[in-house]
Structure 1
Amino acid sequence: MEYDKDPSYVQLVTDIADKFSEYAASLTANDLTISSITKTVLYHWNFSAADLIFPLIAALVIFLLKQIIVGILNAIDLSNFQPVDAKKLPESVFQLIMYSGLWILETKIVLDHDFLVSPSKTFHNWSEKREEPLPFDAYWLYVTVIGFYIQALVCCILIDERRKDTNVMILHHIATLFLVVFSFGMRFWAIGCLVLFCHDICDIFLDVSKLFLYFQNRKVCSKPTWYICEVTKSISFGFFVLSWIWFRFNLYPRKAIYGAAYHSMVEIKGGPPVYPFYSFLLMSIQVMHIYWFFFIFKLLLKILTGAKLDRDTREYEESNEKKTD
């Protein structure tokens, strides 16, 4: 379908700019008041008490799952691991389990509804469907994702040790949580599933790479095991970089951002509620992708030049800063 043909990056920018101009031209001074924006959101908002309670329960269950994983791994003799690696091992196992499960469900939803091939379907007939219940799998995906990011935000602020990018991580969790809750309440679930699909696969490869790094760094590690870990770690990291480039620098802007900022204006007369704000938040996440890729690229350069790596670039730089204090 020509309408759903993937745009070039130049076309993406120009098409979105045209739609923003078109939307701006249709606005009146009254449309820009806080009162008008609030009324618009409340009119379209579809968020029940259950939609609040279930994610909070999910956050508690996910936090308990994390503690169970930590407890099981701490019960195992990890004395052969480096102390810093033994401390991070449970987090990587937990995240690998969560992101793998979420991405499998996201892939099912995206493929079942053909959102990847035809991203315009994410907003097709939205005005008629917004009062309808979400599909069962999409609903529980949202409940789980919201719960996951609630516990991640709480842990990042109150529990986890601060890192060089902690403030950016907090900002990322807040922006992601807001976007997921907003798309849930506004029944933009289709574009939300596509956005999630474009993100979670990268974290799977990253955590696999970290796990093999921890095993490789053990105090006593046989040469065959060391080489197996080295190869597997490098392959996993390679897939992580490739998945970041393909999913976050290609599919995310050309499918998800284009779908939200361009297709939504075509499919919904007058555009979706709070159109520029929602589109801006999606674009802000892309800026964060570029920021984090800076660290990824630095780590990739170290690998290609054969530099010794004991941890990821952010942690490496942080440890150097502490040494100079």
Structure 2
Amino acid sequence: MAKPLSSQPNSVTEVNACVSTIEGRRAKGDTTFRQWVLQNQIGVCVTILTMIFALHNLYPSLRPYTSPFLQLPHYQPEKGTYVQGWDDIYFAMGAILAFTAVRAIAIEWIFQPIARQWGLKKQKASLRFAEQGWILVYYGGYWTYGMFLWYNSKYWNNFREIWTDWPSRDIHGVLKWYCLTQLSFWLQQILVINIEERRKDHYQMLVHHIVTSTLLGSAYVYGFYNVANVVLCIMDIVDFMLPTAKMLKYLGYERACTVGFIVFLVTWVISRHVVYNLLWWSIYKNVPDVMPYGCYSATTTEMIDPNGPIDNWSHLLHPFQEIGGRICMSPRIKWVFLSFLLFLQVLALIWFTMILRVAVKVLKSGSAEDSRSDDEEDEPVETEESATINSITDSTNGTAVVSGSSGSAKLANGSSVQGHHPVRIRTGRGRVTLSDQNDRKALLGRIGCDKPT
């Protein structure tokens, strides 16, 4: 008597099960590797850096190979300054490892325990608080350091002086460290978003980080150190104010969060739409008056070809191909640079317009109180009057600003905000008010400065 199909050793069922198991193992293996890297990022990075440090101290003959990872390369003792060089790549690699380890340590060992001590017991809430804490520390520290460099420079309150040193490749150690570590941070961000759990805005953030890294790297190679310093200061001041407001909201400091948002809004206008445009105009007006068109020697800074480049586009790559070779300034280079800056300004105007539109809409709606629950399991019923989600992503770090809710709003850092409670419209003394949220709390909810739900 023939055996049933399911009991036969080579049955279709067993074949399908075998195939499914193999596919499942492959998928599981990929996920496990990413999780392993995520879970062991501190150990891996610290181990590599420790090995480099040990080899550097125990084997002096290897120091020419280990020094670029641990200290700024290409120092010129006779001038007391630094120049560019290929060893800068190794320094950036060491900084990437350091940033990865420091970020993980700050999130797991410092900010998450603080979040739990302050009552954020749930893993997701404490993780979001910790991520915002790291952003606050990084941007706050680098903005302070960048402002110190800017304030003590000759181009403080005088953008024309930004270009007087160009095309000199000499750079002071403090400024070189600042530029290279900022570039390393953005390269490290590309690594982080690929080893952590992917979020809905993964590809948008990936493109953003790649573009930012490309711009910073190009500015460094072309010797636009001063411009990079000013632009980073203008952008960084906004990038640490919003995380500050979010953390205050997580901890329940409503009034402080309100003040934080107001300061954030005012700072945005001054830095990104006033100072930034003054810088753009300075570049347009002062080039080529301060920096005449032509090709220069990267070593002597003397003009070697006043007629400028003959080719159309290949001269743009000269500084990348030969660091000590010639470097040119032409109308094409000027407008490529201005176009990138103008593109960033257009994005900033679009985001700011969205912020103002939401703010005005909320203020015209009236006042009430926000009765949203802190429980992640709560799922309030939505009404037709519920607002829709508008995510406003910051140009430098992609922080999402939530302008409303219809269902679950996804922040750029991966945290989700559950839907608002029903919005009940009532009239009183000729105006419309919202019974479930007041102007202040509604507006804070729309910038992502809300409770960790």
TM-score (norm. length: structure 1): 0.71
Is the 2:112–2:129 contact (alpha carbons within 8 Å) kept by the matching residues of 1? no
1:51 lines up with 2:91 in the alignment: no
For residue 243 of structure 1, what is the aligned residue in structure 2?
Answer: 267
List aligned pairs for 1:117-132, cutoff 5 A: 117-127=157-167, 130-132=168-170
Bigger radius of gyration: 2
SS at match of 1:126: coil
- Give the Cα separation in 1 of the matches to 2:137 and 2:128: 15
1:319 lines up with 2:319 in the alignment: no
What is the letter of the counterpart of residue 97 of structure 2? L
- Give the Cα separation in 2 of the matches to 1:299 and 1:266: 43
Name which of 174, 181, 184 aligns with 2:210: 174
Structure 1: tracts of 5 or more residues without a match: 1-45, 217-228
List aligned pairs for 1:1-325, cutoff 5 A: 47-72=84-109, 73-75=111-113, 78=116, 80-81=119-120, 84-127=124-167, 130-132=168-170, 134-159=171-196, 161-163=198-200, 166-216=202-252, 229-255=253-279, 257-270=280-293, 272=329, 274-297=333-356, 300-301=359-360, 304=363, 306=367, 308=370, 312-313=401-402, 316=405, 319=408
Is the 2:99–2:185 contact (alpha carbons within 8 Å) kept by the matching residues of 1? yes
What is the letter of the counterpart of residue 141 of structure 2? G
Report the CA distance between 1:150 and its aligned residue: 0.9
- Give the Cα separation in 1 of the matches to 2:210 and 2:287: 24
Distance 1:170 1:241, change over 3 A: farther
- Give the Cα separation in 1 of the matches to 2:265 and 2:177: 29
SS at match of 1:266: coil
Comparing 115-124 with 295-304, greater Cα deviation is found at 295-304
Distance 1:320 1:190, change over 3 A: closer
Residue deviations 1:173-232 (CA, integer Å, cap 9, x gap): 22221121111111110111011111101112111101011111xxxxxxxxxxxx1111
- Name the structure where strand makes up a greater proportion of residues: 2
- Give the Cα separation in 2 of the matches to 1:244 and 1:65: 28
Report the CA distance between 1:246 and its aligned residue: 0.5
Distance 1:235 1:161, change over 3 A: farther
Structure 2: tracts of 5 or more residues without a match: 1-82, 295-328, 375-399, 411-415, 420-453
For residue 34 of structure 1, what is the aligned residue in structure 2?
Answer: none
Residue deviations 1:91-129 (CA, integer Å, cap 9, x gap): 1111111111111111111111142411011111413xx
TM-score (norm. length: structure 2): 0.52
- Give the Cα separation in 1 of the matches to 2:158 and 2:216: 21
Residue deviations 1:55-113 (CA, integer Å, cap 9, x gap): 22112111111100122134457283265432211111111111111111111111111
- Give the Cα separation in 2 of the matches to 1:266 and 1:317: 54
Distance 1:53 1:114, change over 3 A: same
- Give the Cα separation in 2 of the matches to 1:317 and 1:262: 47
Aligned residues: 262
Q: Which has the higher contact order (CA 8 A, sep 6+)?
A: 1
Is the 1:69–1:94 contact (alpha carbons within 8 Å) kept by the matching residues of 2? yes
- Give the Cα separation in 2 of the matches to 1:151 and 1:113: 29
Cα root mean square deviation, aligned = 3.0
SS at match of 1:265: coil
Distance 1:205 1:75, change over 3 A: closer
Comparing 111-120 with 232-241, greater Cα deviation is found at 111-120
What is the letter of the counterpart of residue 102 of structure 2? L
Report the CA distance between 1:242 and its aligned residue: 0.8
For residue 15 of structure 1, what is the aligned residue in structure 2?
Answer: none
% identity of equivalent residues:
19
Is the 2:238–2:268 contact (alpha carbons within 8 Å) kept by the matching residues of 1? yes
- Give the Cα separation in 1 of the matches to 2:406 and 2:163: 43
What is the letter of the counterpart of residue 226 of structure 2? A
Report the CA distance between 1:286 and its aligned residue: 1.4
For residue 23 of structure 1, what is the aligned residue in structure 2?
Answer: none
Residue deviations 1:135-181 (CA, integer Å, cap 9, x gap): 222111112101111112222344254245x5443333222211211
- Name the structure where helix makes up a greater proportion of residues: 1
Distance 1:300 1:163, change over 3 A: farther
Distance 1:282 1:312, change over 3 A: closer
Is the 1:296–1:313 contact (alpha carbons within 8 Å) kept by the matching residues of 2? no
- Give the Cα separation in 1 of the matches to 2:342 and 2:357: 24
What is the letter of the counterpart of residue 146 of structure 2? E
Residue deviations 1:247-306 (CA, integer Å, cap 9, x gap): 001101112x22333323221111735222222112221122123324533564577455
- Give the Cα separation in 2 of the matches to 1:294 and 1:171: 23
